[in-house]
Chain A
């Protein structure tokens, strides 16, 4: 088992991975705890929630890359899976507030506000973390499996698939906007107090969530790496490049597409669940069509079909977004659109693809 994992990277790759993990898991928390606040080297508390958010986006990018970069199926609806994980976690966090809400009721504030007398049935169970965890791990994948089964069985592909996923996220957004749906309407779920008894306002809880996110991202990365380097991974790229040849080679491509689509939704749901406690809110705007499109852009920027590209893309675009929304909030979308056009025209393989042109290893396989 360990031997198998060890072959996932070259020696250099593992060194790099562990250096990054060391910085993220040890160095940053130490700089926060041990270095006095006046020092330039001090890492302020808020950094952890911010980085935690980026790491969740990186996990989303990983998920989108599996289905789009490797298998060639563009999804513009991953916001749905992200939101499902997010809402499940949000419901648990709402129930954890107890009677400390504004109205001092056992029901979540928005329900009191709507004059609801009792908890809707689909909120049952979210008092328990174990149940919530189960929903987070199962629901997005199950939903994706069902949706994917019908779409792939009907051989919907390419731009048509992208459009129906976009329609799916839009429809669900409208559904969640309604107050009667019972998920807090357009305000969503917020004002969380604690998770598993730990206060969400404590810096230590924030660092804890950040560390868990890193570990989850690392494990998801290893899993994805294992998948794309197996024969199954080669079949996925083969489906992307020549699906009919794969079918005539005796593979039921429906099963392969369903597998990677479900895996992708599963990872995306986990990302959403980790995102909510660190950001403190989940609302239907996460299901805006533009959000799902942005997810695809992260992958395009970093480089489709490379896992490191997805991670880098998510980091860079969101870093830029954080800076832009402070410096020139009106221009962010223009910038994003321009970036996407320029990249598609001049760097179709993204940044990683662009730079790997100069590395010696790839010259073996590419024309010089």
Chain B
């Protein structure tokens, strides 16, 4: 069997043990309230994982810690085997190959769809390079490919403020894709979407798994059922249950805190 992730060029991330992300003993507290409480979580290379949990379960805080926005009180987050994310800044983590989609769609509203992807594109991101370099053919191709994947080819010269809510969500996912990340963190991708948009999003995310590891935080149960192999339930800052959707759904502990209500 091929070693997982062998197709990905960046070999500085060591995922030879099959895991891309190791979260161990993670604790974060805000004024005494423990948003994360000794959380342990492992994400396999190339898998699509859904994370659910009631409000305040610590889902977004976990994303914040992985992307460097929040520093934990205890615990470690390793990307591959050798990179401790808790010691790195947001932009360094992004450079390592972790892309994040926010809960509220966050795109550059005054830029066109094309420009949004241009800014996100995997490239040297220093001040001098940005001042002097312009796009080369290969980079244009990557952007066009991205436009194709998210289905916004027609809108490429439209100011992104004019996109519908669903289109903005896709654009943001597209911005993550052109960064060529190993791991995608996606926070509530279908919130506020129509039924059709939700279906398209499910297709999109399923097509990404394998090439990338994808972690999706979501509330919408039907959506999770349609995409997930494996579901992790968070509750009060730690993992309550973990497994296939059916198993998790029938777990009495889960029913009590979340699904039953």
Which A residues have a C-beta under 8 Å from some C-beta of B? Answer: 227, 230-232, 234-235, 237-238, 241-242, 244-253, 255-256, 259, 364-367
- Chain A residues positioned under 8 Å from B120 (CB to CB): 249
State whether the Cβ of B228 lies closer than 8 Å to any Cβ in chain A.
no
Can you list 14 contacts pairing A with B, beta carbon distance less than 8 Å? A231-B134, A232-B131, A237-B111, A238-B119, A244-B106, A248-B67, A248-B99, A249-B125, A249-B179, A250-B94, A251-B91, A252-B89, A259-B127, A366-B159
- Chain A residues positioned under 8 Å from B112 (CB to CB): 365
Knowing A234-B118, A367-B162, say if A250 contacts B179 (CB, 8 Å): yes
Determine the distance from Cα of A259 to Cα of B67 in the docked complex, in whole angstroms. Answer: 25
Binding site of A, secondary structure by majority: helix, strand, loop or mixed?
A: helix
- Chain A residues positioned under 8 Å from B153 (CB to CB): none
Cross-chain contact A237 with B110 (CB below 8 angstroms)? yes
State whether the Cβ of B44 lies closer than 8 Å to any Cβ in chain A.
no
Determine the distance from Cα of A240 to Cα of B133 in the docked complex, in whole angstroms. Answer: 22
Determine the distance from Cα of A235 to Cα of B125 in the docked complex, in whole angstroms. Answer: 10
State whether the Cβ of B108 lies closer than 8 Å to any Cβ in chain A.
yes
Count chain B CB atoms within 10 A of each CB in A227, A230, A248 and give the residue with the most.
A248
Determine the distance from Cα of A256 to Cα of B119 in the docked complex, in whole angstroms. Answer: 13
Kindly identify which residue among A232, A237, A247, A250 contacts B108, using a CB–CB cutoff of 8 Å.
A237
Cross-chain contact B110 with A241 (CB below 8 angstroms)? yes
Kindly identify which residue among B107, B110, B131 contacts A230, using a CB–CB cutoff of 8 Å.
B131
Cross-chain contact B108 with A241 (CB below 8 angstroms)? yes
Cross-chain contact A245 with B106 (CB below 8 angstroms)? yes
State whether the Cβ of B132 lies closer than 8 Å to any Cβ in chain A.
yes
Cross-chain contact B130 with A230 (CB below 8 angstroms)? yes
State whether the Cβ of B217 lies closer than 8 Å to any Cβ in chain A.
no
Q: How large is the interface on B (under 10, 10 to 19, 20 to 34, 35 or more residues)?
A: 35 or more
State whether the Cβ of B90 lies closer than 8 Å to any Cβ in chain A.
yes
- Chain B residues positioned under 8 Å from A242 (CB to CB): 106-109
Cross-chain contact A246 with B127 (CB below 8 angstroms)? no
Determine the distance from Cα of A238 to Cα of B160 in the docked complex, in whole angstroms. Answer: 12
- Chain A residues positioned under 8 Å from B126 (CB to CB): 252, 255
Count chain B CB atoms within 10 A of each CB in A250, A251, A259 and give the residue with the most.
A250
Knowing A242-B107, A242-B108, A245-B106, say if A250 contacts B132 (CB, 8 Å): no
State whether the Cβ of B100 lies closer than 8 Å to any Cβ in chain A.
yes
Contact with A along B107-148 (1 / 0, CB 8 A): 111111001001110100111001111100000000000000
- CB-CB nearest 9 A-B residue pairs: A250-B94, A232-B130, A247-B90, A232-B131, A238-B108, A245-B106, A231-B130, A249-B120, A252-B91
State whether the Cβ of B95 lies closer than 8 Å to any Cβ in chain A.
yes
State whether the Cβ of B175 lies closer than 8 Å to any Cβ in chain A.
yes
Known pairs A244-B106, A248-B67, A248-B90; list 17 more (Cβ under 8 Å): A231-B118, A231-B133, A234-B118, A235-B119, A242-B108, A242-B109, A244-B69, A245-B102, A245-B107, A247-B90, A248-B100, A249-B119, A250-B91, A250-B95, A250-B179, A252-B89, A252-B125
- Chain A residues positioned under 8 Å from B162 (CB to CB): 367
